[in-house]
Amino acid sequence: MKTRKLVYEGKNKNLYEGPEPGTLVQYFKDDATAQQGRKKAVLEGKGVLNNRISEFLMSRLTEIGVPNHFMRRLNMREQLVREVEIIPLEVVVRNVAAGSFATRFEMEEGAVLPRSIIEFYLKNDKLQNPMVTEEHITAFNWASPHEIDEIVALAIRINDFLSGLFLGAGIKLVDIKIEFGRLWENDMMRVILADEISPDSMRLWDLRTSEKLDKDRFRRDLGGVTEAYSEVARRLGILNEPQATERKGPVLVK
């Protein structure tokens, strides 16, 4: 059997060379990491759930015209994506104070922000992903002013759309981390959404009880991590689809 080429080894995902030029296979591992990789665990089934949840959310975003790298799911743990040049920024949109934001401003977790706030962090584990401003981003050429405008416009759309989508599933989107890449088509370059959107990269709270349904269950040793991710998938209607073996035959119309 031909072994495929590993293009990038991440903490939670791997990228392999795709079947056609300009494509990659994104493989979701069960590994969970926190504290810049100092805290590690293997959570059985997490990769499968994140593959499905990310497929679902990227597909809904495609339907409303948000350009993204997702092409199609290949199997339980893999999806085919467009190859992009990753912009080295983690873009965080916050609707409610939580995590590092709540700590930084000594705010109670759960306080609703006066408006959605966008923050940029440099993707650099060695430097522990420092927060950066547009001044740093343009001075060091991580992205151009035009690309920052596109990123901000897309981030606001993505956050607004997903907030509504999760609301319909009885879930509050507290904050979300997204990443973008440059897609070259002939001589034209577009900024598109890349990476994944899963409970690893969002804070999701039950609307009624504020129970955490995201990676904070791992970060804060609350237990029940994959159960929470399954609950998110179930509420999105992903786990309700009949499996191939359960599907009934054609129904006779009388």
Q: How near is the Cβ of 245 to ligand TMP at its closest, in Å?
A: 35
Query: What are the distances in angstroms from CA 53 to CA 17, 79, 188?
Result: 23, 12, 31
| Residue 206 CB neighbours (<10 A) | 17
3-state secondary structure of 144: coil
217 binds ligand TMP (CB under 6 A): no
Tell me which residue has tokens 């939580």.
Answer: 98
3-state secondary structure of 50: helix
Contact region for ligand TMP (CB under 6 A) — 67-75, 92-100, 107-115, 244-252? 92-100
Among 23, 62, 100, 163, binds ligand TMP (CB under 6 A): 100
Q: How near is the Cβ of 47 to ligand TMP at its closest, in Å?
A: 16
- Shorter beta-carbon distance to ligand TMP: residue 48 or 92: 92
- CB of 112 closer than 8 Å to CB of 101: no
CA distance 56 to 51: 9
Q: How near is the Cβ of 146 to ligand TMP at its closest, in Å?
A: 25
| Per-residue binder mask for ligand TMP (CB under 6 A), 147-186, x = binder | ----------------------------xxx---------
| Residue 203 CB neighbours (<10 A) | 22
CA distance 127 to 182: 24
Q: How near is the Cβ of 201 to ligand TMP at its closest, in Å?
A: 4
Q: How near is the Cβ of 99 to ligand TMP at its closest, in Å?
A: 2
88 binds ligand TMP (CB under 6 A): no
Q: Where along the sequence are the contacts to ligand TMP (CB under 6 A)?
A: 92, 98-101, 129, 175-177, 201-203
